[in-house]
Amino acid sequence: MKQQYWVPALMLMAGMAGSAFAAKTDITIGMQLEPPNLDPTGGAAGAIDEVVYANIFEGLTRFGSDGSVKPALAASWTIENEGARYVFALQSGVTFHDGAVFSAEDVKFSIDRAMAEESTNAQKALFANIDSVEVIDASTVAVNLKQADGSLLFNLAWGDAIVLDSATAENAATLPVGTGPFAFDKWVQGDRIEIVKNDAYWGTPAKLDKATFKFISEPTAAYAAILAGDLDAFPNYPAPENLAQLDADPRYSVVLGSTEGETILSTNNAVAPFDDVRVRKALAHAINRGEIIDGAMFGYGTPIGTHFAPHNPAYVDLTAQSNYDPEMAKALLKEAGHEDGLTVSLKLPPPAYARRGGEIIAAQLRDVGITAEIENLEWAQWLEQVFRGKDFNLTIVSHTEPMDISVYANPEYYFQYDNADIQELMEAFGAETDQEKRTAMLQQAQQIISDDYVNGYLFQLAKTGVANSKIQGLWENSPTQANDLTAVYWED
Amino acid sequence: MLRYVYRRLASLLVTLFVASLVVFVVIEVVPGDPASYMLGMNAQPDTVAALRSELGLDQSKPARYFHWVTGMLQGDFGQSYTYRTPVADMVSDRLWISLPLALFALLLSIVIAFPAGIWAASRRGGLADTTVMGFTQLGIAIPNFWFAMLLVLFFAIKMRWFSAGGFAGWDEGFFAALKSLTLPAVALALPQAAILTRVMRSSLLDVLGEDFMRTARAKGLSQRQALLRHALRNALIPVLTIIGLQFSFLIAGAIIIENVFFLPGLGRLIFQSIAQRDLIVVESVVMLLVFAVVMVTFLVDLAYAWVDPRLRHRA
């Protein structure tokens, strides 16, 4: 009996000694949240995409590490009918992990499924402008739009728009079958998910043989797991306070990048006192962004003056328009008739940026005579009270969807900003396909919301990752929530 | 004896029924909708409505309660909203971590506490007694999560003998799984052992003062023989009570330790499910824990009757 255990143990040790000379081909990646399921077309949880996006599942297009849209299952496309019809030529020789052949029918099935009335796709709006999907032949598919739309290729790059096989789509939540460079292997619920290299991959094969995603929610436990060598990388490391220490350790490198998360002091524009633009302007000038970034995020984050990612070429730096000027804030409040002070609610969801940032903002507001009553909420409560119920004055939240400035054109959106100018602008933007004009429109939109001081714009959430110094090819930035392992490898 | 068992059983069933009502009502009044949690900020209202009807959340509350309870009676705990897998499977996966962990910790604490308690009691007032009592003070005073971090610091980060946490899984082999439970079990066991030692000692000391102990000594038994043969069994009732309480605590209350060691146990499942408003999971797991606690109490009651014949006859 004893011997039976010894033999494999010895073999394992011999194997380990042998592999010490060659580069490693497996990786263990830490994540703070476990995905609730593995179907990116059936839920909003970012953790789903962090496991499956570009690894297991692919769509017609995909995001590159710099946020640009690249071909994926669509090898190329032509735009017809003045931007209202896209014809995609599909990659050839693509199979799903179970051996099924990928064809235009799968594309039609997947998009139709996402658009359907009973669809539970969290980003259904991405497909709202699609009129029909037409299979031309096995390797050509056309998407007909209701009106010309310059965002289609971008929209199809989202994790919510990946292509599934009709035979396996129902079980994607627990048994995802995609076309990606990695195939799902095993899920030990609560602990880890393992994926393995797909040897039949149609494109450039992955360099790793195996990857394990391990879920550690507690920041101190994550720190211990990295130090103990249990993890090779933690791309969204949750404890910025340890980063300096880890950076000093030669075994690890800290990777700083940017995310699509505009962190804002969301303001209810429809309810007094913030229905008055002077009060909103006062709010903007009462906030010291530097203090918030240092205090809440240990210095990681880029100040923003509008709802737009600074790394995007269309970004306009408008931070000066809402610079820190408490005297001006007081004067504006007086002008608006609030010289005796104001009491408002500040409802905070669980992330550290909100809870820590909220305390600092409350202190800054106190200096200009605004008393912010802090109320800590869980996510589910926050969604119900603040996001759906619109029962709040102020809240802090990071808007993590890429290019989401269009929410300002929706007067029903939770901060209830109603301005015909931006509504018209965003409608025109949707139909515009000329890149230069689109950029100009985006810049104009940034200016409008900054002029109206719709929300307090705080900072772009940084991506603070930690990885073993020998790992190459991890994404530095986070144009979408993903851990694309396609190009990751270990240095010798 | 049989009537005693029946009465215990009846009170067990009533407790379970009342608990199911309370659990359902309390969890259903908590604000927050599971469907909108799952779909996030960009979801359209019709999508949320579609998901609600898919999950059965559009039915009335009494209907859902009835559905839940009748399902449980047939062994069907429903399907998790967020994970889309049967709750029974999820719970049994987690139970295979929480239960062995609790047993492991309990075993450790008994192995430490029994000899230490007996030793201290038999040398009352002596150096052994003071030393043991000193350590138990320390054991009770040290918070287990802090002790857990010290264990991680030394055994995982410095010595690298263990992982800092996580669970290998039983299919990786018995020893690999046991190894992942070792540090958490030690962290959990220490404070429990300290409590148990003190109870063991004081309970033994009480018994040692009884008349029958003097008789036993007068019969010619040595101090040691009298202690092991007569005192121990009589001293066990309070000890069993504590062990029963500790076991229930260890199954449900290991949540902090589970977080420190990122073990996917029952405690963490509840914690996660509450945050995600996976109501059906919370309800079922809490019911399961109620069931476990009630069962443990029931078994302890039976054990009382076993060690104390008077209880059998009184009923």
β-sheet bridge partners, residue A425: none
CA distance B191 to B180: 20
Residue range B89-314 forms a domain whose CATH class is mainly alpha
The domain ranges of chain B are 35-76, 89-314
Beta-carbon neighbour count of residue A474 at 10 Å?
A: 21
Contacting residues of B for A220, CB less than 8 Å apart = 149, 260
Residues 6+ apart with CB under 8 A from A287: A265, A322, A324, A361, A364, A365, A456, A458
Residues 6+ apart with CB under 8 A from A478: A236, A257, A258, A259, A260, A463
Lowest mean pLDDT among B159-168, B188-197, B250-259: B250-259
Q: What is the mean pLDDT of residues A262-270?
A: 96
Contacting residues of A for B277, CB less than 8 Å apart = 380
Token output for B143:
């918070």
Q: How many interchain CB pairs under 8 A, A with B?
A: 156
Hey, is the C-beta of A4 within 8 angstroms of any chain B C-beta?
no
Alpha-carbon distances, residue B98 vs A224, B75, B102 (angstroms): 22, 20, 6
> What pLDDT is attached to residue B26?
87
Q: What is the mean pLDDT of residues A88-96?
A: 96
pLDDT of residue A10 exceeding 50? no
pLDDT of residue A47 exceeding 70? yes
Q: Assess contact for A386 and A350: CB atoms under 8 A.
A: no
pLDDT of residue A1 exceeding 80? no
Which chain B residue lies closest to A43 (C-alpha atoms)? B39
Q: Do A118 and B50 touch (CB under 8 A)?
A: yes
Contacting residues of A for B50, CB less than 8 Å apart = 117-120
Contacting residues of B for A380, CB less than 8 Å apart = 31-34, 36-37, 275-277
Q: Do A221 and B259 touch (CB under 8 A)?
A: yes
Which chain A residue lies closest to B53 (C-alpha atoms)? A118
CA distance A51 to A73: 19
Residues 6+ apart with CB under 8 A from A171: A177
Q: Do A378 and B32 touch (CB under 8 A)?
A: yes
pLDDT of residue B101 exceeding 70? yes
Name the minimum distance, in Å, from the CA of A341 to any CA of chain B. 32
Q: What is the DSSP string of A143-202?
A: EEESS--TTHHHHTTSGGG----TTTGGGTTTS---SSSEEEEEEETTTEEEEEE-TT-S
Contacting residues of B for A30, CB less than 8 Å apart = none
Q: Assess contact for B84 and A174: CB atoms under 8 A.
A: yes
Smallest Cβ–Cβ distance between A124 and the set B47, B83, B149 belongs to B47
Q: Do A218 and B33 touch (CB under 8 A)?
A: no
Smallest Cβ–Cβ distance between B157 and the set A120, A227, A399 belongs to A227
Residues 6+ apart with CB under 8 A from A438: A150, A314, A429, A432
Q: Hey, which residues 154-183 in chain A have their CB within 8 Å of chain B? A: 173-174
CA-wise closest residue to A149 among A426, A479, A481: A426
Of B74 and A396, more confident:
A396
CA-wise closest residue to A229 among B182, B155, B179, B97: B155
Q: What is the mean pLDDT of residues A58-83?
A: 92
Q: Hey, which residues 316-375 in chain A have their CB within 8 Å of chain B? A: 350
Q: How confident is the model at residue B78 (pLDDT cuts 50, 70, 90)?
A: confident
CA distance B34 to A253: 38
pLDDT in tens, A279-336: 999 999 999 999 999 999 999 999 999 999 998 889 999 999 999 999 999 999 999 9
> What pLDDT is attached to residue A397?
94
> What pLDDT is attached to residue A11?
43
Burial class of residue A320, CB neighbours in 10 A (0-12, 13-18, 19+)? exposed
The DSSP 8-state label assigned to residue A414 in this structure reads: T
> What pLDDT is attached to residue A19?
45
Rg (CA), chain B: 24
Q: What is the mean pLDDT of residues A412-426?
A: 94
Q: Assess contact for A478 and A64: CB atoms under 8 A.
A: no
pLDDT of residue B259 exceeding 60? yes
Q: How confident is the model at residue B253 (pLDDT cuts 50, 70, 90)?
A: low
Q: What is the DSSP string of B214-227?
A: HHHHHTT--HHHHI
pLDDT in tens, A129-175: 999 999 999 999 999 999 888 889 999 999 999 999 999 999 999 99
Q: Compute the half-sphere exposure of residue A270: CA atoms within 13 Å on the CB side of its CA.
A: 14
> What pLDDT is attached to residue B301?
81
The rounded mean pLDDT for chain B is: 86
CA distance B114 to B131: 15
Contacting residues of B for A158, CB less than 8 Å apart = none
Beta-carbon neighbour count of residue B226 at 10 Å?
A: 21
Q: Which of A121, A191, A407 should be substituted to probe chain B, the one whose Cβ sees the most B Cβ atoms within 10 Å?
A: A191
Helix or strand (DSSP H, E) at A99: none
pLDDT of residue A28 exceeding 60? yes
Which chain B residue lies closest to A381 (C-alpha atoms)? B32
Residues 6+ apart with CB under 8 A from B135: B116, B194
Best-predicted range by mean pLDDT (A206-210, B86-90, B252-256): A206-210
Token output for A474:
């991890």
pLDDT of residue A44 exceeding 90? no
pLDDT in tens, B16-49: 999 999 989 888 877 778 888 888 777 788 888 8
ipTM confidence score? 0.80
Name the minimum distance, in Å, from the CA of A366 to any CA of chain B. 30
Name the minimum distance, in Å, from the CA of B290 to any CA of chain A. 22
CA distance A50 to A52: 6
> What pLDDT is attached to residue B159?
85
Q: How confident is the model at residue A86 (pLDDT cuts 50, 70, 90)?
A: very high
> What pLDDT is attached to residue A8?
45
pLDDT of residue B132 exceeding 50? yes
Smallest Cβ–Cβ distance between A221 and the set B34, B38, B165 belongs to B165
pLDDT in tens, B142-183: 888 899 999 999 998 888 899 888 888 888 888 888 999 999
Q: Assess contact for B45 and A412: CB atoms under 8 A.
A: no
Helix or strand (DSSP H, E) at A278: helix A277-286
The DSSP 8-state label assigned to residue B124 in this structure reads: T
- Helices A326-335, A277-286: inter-axial angle, 10-degree rounding: 160
Smallest Cβ–Cβ distance between B36 and the set A173, A388, A404 belongs to A388
Q: What is the mean pLDDT of residues A200-229?
A: 92
Helix or strand (DSSP H, E) at A303: strand A302-303
CA B122 to chain centre: 31
Q: Assess contact for B147 and A207: CB atoms under 8 A.
A: no
Beta-carbon neighbour count of residue A113 at 10 Å?
A: 18
Contacting residues of A for B157, CB less than 8 Å apart = 224, 227-228
CA A193 to chain centre: 20
Hey, is the C-beta of A385 within 8 angstroms of any chain B C-beta?
yes
Smallest Cβ–Cβ distance between A189 and the set B37, B38, B93 belongs to B93
Sole residue written with tokens 């900072």:
A459
> What pLDDT is attached to residue A22?
67
pLDDT of residue A183 exceeding 70? yes
Hey, is the C-beta of A118 within 8 angstroms of any chain B C-beta?
yes
β-sheet bridge partners, residue A248: none
Sole residue written with tokens 């969801």:
A349
pLDDT of residue A181 exceeding 60? yes
* β pairing state of A342-348 and A394-399: parallel
> What pLDDT is attached to residue A20?
46
Q: How confident is the model at residue A469 (pLDDT cuts 50, 70, 90)?
A: very high
> What pLDDT is attached to residue A413?
92
CA distance B290 to B295: 8
Token output for A263:
């962190």
Smallest Cβ–Cβ distance between A228 and the set B39, B157, B264 belongs to B157
Helix or strand (DSSP H, E) at A32: none
CA distance A235 to A232: 10
pLDDT of residue B76 exceeding 80? yes
CA distance B234 to A489: 66
The rounded mean pLDDT for chain A is: 90
Which chain A residue lies closest to B52 (C-alpha atoms)? A120
Name the minimum distance, in Å, from the CA of A46 to any CA of chain B. 10
pLDDT in tens, A104-136: 999 999 999 999 988 889 898 899 999 999 999
CA distance A268 to B32: 20
CA-wise closest residue to A387 among B112, B309, B39: B39
CA B69 to chain centre: 24
pLDDT of residue A218 exceeding 90? no
Smallest Cβ–Cβ distance between A224 and the set B42, B85, B157 belongs to B157
> What pLDDT is attached to residue B314?
59
β-sheet bridge partners, residue A27: A211
Sole residue written with tokens 């300290």:
B194
Lowest mean pLDDT among A233-242, A408-417, B45-54: B45-54
Sole residue written with tokens 């009382």:
B304
